[in-house]
Structure 1
Amino acid sequence: MDGETPDAPLFIELMEPSVLYNLLNRFFKYPSISDPSYLLLIDARKLHEYNESHIVTAKLAPKNKHDQFEVPYDGELECKQFIVVYDGTTDTLTNTSGEAMKCAQLLSDSGSRNKVKILSGGYERFSALYPFLRTQKILWLPQELDGIKTYPMEVLPGLLYLGNTEQGRADYIQKDLKIQGRIACNVIGESCEPDSCEFLNLVIPEDKDADLSDALQKACTFIDLHRDKKSVVLVYSDLMYASASTICIAYLMHQQKSSLQESLVNLSSIVMGTHVPPHHSLLNNLSDKNTAALTSEA
């Protein structure tokens, strides 16, 4: 979780790697990182470390002749929705002499309208979790960002991802995320290549009077089996993600013993508006018929 540490600067917070992963992969019609006002990602490590490898779209933090951080010339801090800084390994806000903290403090003091985030665990932790988001590329043209490959949203780190049908069928996603299980929701004619992964195809009716209990329990059991094996599941659908979102909300209720409202808020905060929530009929069905069953077993 994002969070503040006692005695930490007021306008600086830690950000978990999964949150940055989701920021980088958020999209509507185009990837959100193609919007210049969306994300400023700053690498506060040494030049040679940055040149060797850095997180995709990250910019090297500039320094003056006295080895002090400066605001990037095109930073436009007041326009940025998210500003994230990382160094090699910083995982606390109490070390005020660390490179990430010094850089973040400068950006916070220089006009950022939102809290500046420091990536918890820095580049080393993030690149260990998401090695496919490393790069040596420094300059990105607008059309390159418009067409950059995105990954599904990470709902539960190392276990559950939420995507669309195109992502559900993409070989690079199955390879990079090590997907071992796929749940297709309301996807006609969907199948899985033999031995490539375990596959569950579900029909999630949108009728508010429909009984979803069987489908939701099948999905929760499927994900639980993969959780026990420490393998990864991707849930995906057409229909603006509504059906796949329903599965994810149901599993959050099941695993965390949370209410429908708590799980819906949780999922919304994770995907940050990328995915359309379930239709009212699906939410009513979850609330009226399945809450007790989903939260009674884990």
Structure 2
Amino acid sequence: MKGWFGQLMHLPNENEMGVVLSRVNNSCKRAPKEPVNTFQRVSSISDREVNSIGSDHSSIIPVQNKVGEPELLVPALPEKACVERGYITPQQVYNLLNAEEGQPALYDPYHILILDCRNADRYQDSHVVTARAAVTVIHPELGCLISCIELQKYSIILLYAEEGCSPVGSVKAKADSPDLQRCFFQLSGLGMDPIILLGGFSAFTALYPFLCTRRMVLIEPERHTLTIYPSEILEGALYQGSVAQASDYRIIKNLHITHVVTATANCPDAFPNTLSYLRLHLSDDAQQDLVEALPLASRFIDAALRAEPAGRVLVHCSMGRSRSSALTLAFLMEHRRWSLLHALRWLKERRACTAPNLNFLSQLLTYEETLFGSRLTRLDDIRR
């Protein structure tokens, strides 16, 4: 199996970003949820103001300490993850299922092998999309029913029980989910590197019921019928994807999207009567100027997330890679107070196809200097 798990579960040092710990059972240890607005640099504006295409953006200015001098932010680090080794959060599974590299990764039968370690009745009632009943792969008496050569073709092997967040191999884990533990150690003995869904099926389906099904979806033609969702950048708050996803009502409804940032030159609002839109006519080229777009998008997203009740924002361009990434990064820099390097690492962990063009990266570096008063990131570090 490919060395994906080691990269995912790498524990960051203070200069590296962590992974958000997802909402799981209350019995599981987790990092405290960070407030949406950790630092208010700009005065809030209404949705009507930021949705006005013909408005004069120059009238929206940052709060100032002194006349002519914008208030500078103090850099912060993303919170470190608190996930036991051998486990993966529901949010990480969501993003893995919806990863896109050229084409949706889920269309590849060898992208991820998901083994449902519950009983047959629970599996037939509902399971994570593309999951197989563990007994069809790991038999209690017959052992592994798939050859090691075949198993090694999978990039990821994911196991889950009904619940559970106890450390792998602990007495409590063995008592709570003996079938899962048996599968885990049998696969480990074969040289595989399986991972376990933190909180089990109950935690995942509570957050993503639309990614659970009664159907058995295994072969490639069946996989091509699956809906691919936008990447979840901030849990239950900020998403990034493509124009096709922004036009899919089922996606909008299932993710409870309330606000959309459109970063394409020619894209009509798909649901103008139900959603709030910020339309930015941007081109993905070396001439596009983002000087107005970055702060405008950042403020629009922040206002939506701080609304009562809190909104959910989808940022998109054509493919969800370059223009939308630049806008998402600007928000993370300004309203999470992260350097461009930390923001980019965070984003790429959640959306691997993130690829703002060189022109956008250069402008984001300038934006970083505007926000913090100095360059915190080197261009060479983010072009790797």
Choose between structure 1 and 2 for higher RCO, CA contacts under 8 A separated by at least 6 residues. 2
Distance 1:53-1:247 versus aligned 2 partners, 3 A rule? same
Superposition RMSD in Å: 2.9
Shift of residue 20, structure 1, vs aligned partner: 0.6
Shift of residue 91, structure 1, vs aligned partner: 1.7
- The structure carrying a bigger helix percent of its residues is 1
Q: Is residue 172 from structure 1 mapped to residue 250 from structure 2 by the alignment? A: yes
Distance 1:201-1:41 versus aligned 2 partners, 3 A rule? same
TM-score, length of structure 2 as denominator length: 0.67
Map 1:34-183; keep pairs closer than 5 Å: 34-62=107-135, 67=140, 70-73=143-146, 76-93=150-167, 94=170, 95-97=172-174, 98-99=176-177, 100-112=180-192, 115-183=193-261
Q: Distance in 2 between matches of 1:65 and 1:214?
A: 56
Shift of residue 219, structure 1, vs aligned partner: 1.2
Where does residue 8 of structure 1 map in the other structure?
none
Shift of residue 279, structure 1, vs aligned partner: 0.4
Q: Distance in 2 between matches of 1:232 and 1:239?
A: 20
Of 121-130 and 26-35, the range deviating more from structure 2: 26-35
Shift of residue 243, structure 1, vs aligned partner: 0.2
Give the percent of matched residue pairs that are identical in Structure 1 and Structure 2: 28
Q: 1:216 aligns with which of 294, 312, 331?
A: 294
Shift of residue 233, structure 1, vs aligned partner: 0.6
Shift of residue 209, structure 1, vs aligned partner: 7.4
TM-score, length of structure 1 as denominator length: 0.85
Distance 1:3-1:92 versus aligned 2 partners, 3 A rule? farther
Deviations 1:163-216 (A, max 9, x none): 111111111111111110100002414224343111011134556676524211
Shift of residue 150, structure 1, vs aligned partner: 0.6
Distance 1:74-1:271 versus aligned 2 partners, 3 A rule? farther
Q: Distance in 1 between matches of 2:130 and 2:140?
A: 23
Q: 1:225 aligns with which of 303, 310, 313?
A: 303
Q: 1:256 aligns with which of 314, 336, 340?
A: 336
Structure index of larger Rg: 2
Long gaps (5+) in structure 2: 1-7, 12-27, 29-83, 374-384
Q: Is residue 32 from structure 1 mapped to residue 109 from structure 2 by the alignment? A: no
Q: Is the 8 A contact 1:253 1:295 kept in 2?
A: no
Q: Which amino acid aligns with 1:270?
A: R
Q: 1:195 aligns with which of 267, 273, 290?
A: 273
Q: Is the 8 A contact 1:3 1:15 kept in 2?
A: no
Q: Is the 8 A contact 1:77 1:111 kept in 2?
A: no
Q: 2:368 aligns with which of 288, 291, 295?
A: 291
Q: Is residue 269 from structure 1 mapped to residue 338 from structure 2 by the alignment? A: no
Where does residue 323 of structure 2 map in the other structure?
243
Distance 1:237-1:209 versus aligned 2 partners, 3 A rule? closer
Q: Distance in 1 between matches of 2:122 and 2:334?
A: 43
Distance 1:168-1:49 versus aligned 2 partners, 3 A rule? same
Distance 1:131-1:69 versus aligned 2 partners, 3 A rule? farther
